[in-house]
Amino acid sequence: MITLPGGIASALVYRRPVTGKLFWTLIAIAVAGGVIGSQLLLHTPSERFAKLVPYLMMGAALVFTFSDQLRRFASTHTSGNEQNAPLLYTGTLAISIYGGYFGAGMGVLMIVLFLIAAHIGVQESAGLRMWCATGVNTLAVAAFIAKGIIVWRVAIPMLVCTLIGGYWGAHAVQKLTAETARRTVLVFAWTLSLWLLVRSLR
């Protein structure tokens, strides 16, 4: 929940990174996945799933590290810049369900998916994942509020901080070159993955 305002602020900075039917289709799929994932979280214990998170994050970091090679491989199964619609839509749904359930690393997974299946650049992928992640988190937060499980005295100060950070962070990323943005995401993904792994082994 605490990252939702920051996500909204970042998404507004990016406006609409892609246009037309693709944008609204992916948003709708992300929202549906967020609803499913949040309901799974509310009805199942998360402890067992939480143990898998470091390894899921490391998998996402590995995929992003080799995203160029994977995109070249994927291009052999499509013609020119044609989108791989089945992979794009099913992947977005699966990642959104995961995002609604737990969320760690969802952004990295979405960026990798959009790079490979949508044939768009790093900046466009980052913007599109902001919008999709915001859709996922909005529905998940709504479900949590309805269940009355939010500790507001802790959540509100954190909401304000993420709102400020999300807005200025998105502006900072837009000023980076595609390669610098890619390296920044890689550093973040591997740092978070290793930190989660070390914490889980304690």
pLDDT at 95: 92
Domain boundaries, the chain: 4-200
Residue 43: CB atoms within 10 Å: 7
> In whole angstroms, what is the distance from residue 91 CA to residue 74 CA?
14
pLDDT average, residue stretch 66-80: 63
Which letter does DSSP use for residue 44 in this model? S
- Does the structure show a pLDDT above 60 at 10? no
Q: Label residue 33 by pLDDT band (50, 70, 90).
A: very high
pTM of the model: 0.66
* Residue 202 neighbours by CB distance under 10 Å: 4
* Average confidence (pLDDT) over 67-78: 64
pLDDT at 1: 46
Rounded to whole angstroms, the Cα distance separating 153 from 116 reads 41
CB 123 within 8 A of CB 181: yes
pLDDT band for position 75 (50/70/90)? Answer: low
Give how far Cα 151 sits from Cα of 115, 132, 145, Å.
Answer: 37, 25, 10
